[in-house]
Amino acid sequence: MAGRLNGKVALVTGSSSGIGQAIAVRLAADGAAVVVNYRGSSEGAAKTKQQIEEAGGRAVVVQGDVSKMEDLQRLIDESWTQLGGCDILVNNAGVEKGADFWEVTEEDYDMVLNVNLKGVFFLTQAFVRRLREAKRPGRIVNISSVHEDMAFPHFSTYCAAKGGLRMLTRNLAVELGSLGITINNVAPGAIATPINAKLLDDKPKLDSLLKNIPLGRMGSSEEVAGVTAFLASDEAAYVTGSTYVVDGGLMVDYHEQ
């Protein structure tokens, strides 16, 4: 398996922690040079870079907030300047904020939609423009969620964003196919990362979630990274417009209580 991304450059947003960190490490292990992006945690990004380098890989760190339009173009430009291109874009950065629908503020709506959907939209646009100019193919993998499809009560902003991402991916598969660019979503279920810190600390809630997961446990970031690396590689050359669910069976486990 090692080496299937040799010669490729990958940009992974929000790769200073959790799933993004595992993806950056995995893509580097498969041979890609990686742009490690972070918004606030330079220590987390340095840790990702260190893990990559200790395993013999190559990484650069670039700060950037995906909810800021001016940072998006810069992320792509830095990848081309520092690593000679950008062949793989992993839109991983994400945030969620729980609230009853009737309590959601405009500020929270903007925060969640700007990171999880608008940022993906315009970073992908900047990524595609450079590839189109250079007449080079590419791979886009969006870290979506089971909630691109499945209700998540009290997280209406998150569902609106991830549901939007689902249709964006399908639409772009059609628009980008002739450019040799594939785009797919990975939809994780419950993965043990900082985004789930509250849940991990709430045993009754956690136990009730685990009862709905056929495999009986939360997933790991590395398990999401494995599927992402596959979609980023030539082994997935004929896959586009799809969502790969990585959820231990959560989505298919409908049952009467």
Least distance to ligand NAI from the beta carbon of 194, Å? 4
Which strand (E) or helix (H) includes residue 90? strand 88-91
Piece of the chain touching ligand NAI by CB under 6 A; list 18-26, 81-89, 121-129, 233-241:
18-26
216 binds, among ligand NAI, ligand BGC, none (CB under 5 to 8 A by kind): none
Instruction: Report in angstroms the alpha-carbon separations of 174 from 77, 171, 218, 239.
Output: 26, 6, 34, 12
Piece of the chain touching ligand NAI by CB under 6 A; list 120-128, 189-197, 205-213, 225-233:
189-197
Instruction: Report in angstroms the alpha-carbon separations of 198 from 21, 57, 153, 201.
Output: 20, 34, 16, 5
- Binding flag, residue 20, ligand BGC (CB under 6 A): no
From 109, 158, 238, 244, the catalytic residue: 158
- Binding flag, residue 85, ligand NAI (CB under 6 A): no
124 binds, among ligand BGC, ligand NAI, none (CB under 5 to 8 A by kind): none
Distance separating the N- and C-terminal Cα atoms of the chain: 43
Least distance to ligand BGC from the beta carbon of 158, Å? 7
Known active-site residue 158:
yes
Residue type, 137: P
- Binding flag, residue 190, ligand NAI (CB under 6 A): yes
- Binding flag, residue 31, ligand NAI (CB under 6 A): no
Piece of the chain touching ligand BGC by CB under 6 A; list 6-14, 26-34, 130-138, 195-203:
195-203
- Binding flag, residue 190, ligand BGC (CB under 6 A): yes
- Binding flag, residue 146, ligand BGC (CB under 6 A): yes
CB 158 within 8 A of CB 214: no
Q: How far is residue 241's CA from residue 169's CA, in Å, rounded to a whole number? A: 6
CB 186 within 8 A of CB 141: yes
- Tokens read off for 245: 């669910």
- Binding flag, residue 246, ligand BGC (CB under 6 A): no
Q: Work out which of 196, 212, 220, 242 binds ligand NAI, going by CB under 6 A.
A: 196
- Binding flag, residue 159, ligand NAI (CB under 6 A): no
CB 148 within 8 A of CB 120: no
Sign of CA dihedral 155, 20, 165, 114: positive
- Binding flag, residue 193, ligand NAI (CB under 6 A): yes
CB 154 within 8 A of CB 100: yes
Give the interface with ligand BGC as residue ranges (CB under 6 A): 96, 145-147, 152, 189-190, 195-196, 199
Q: Annotated active-site positions, please? A: 158
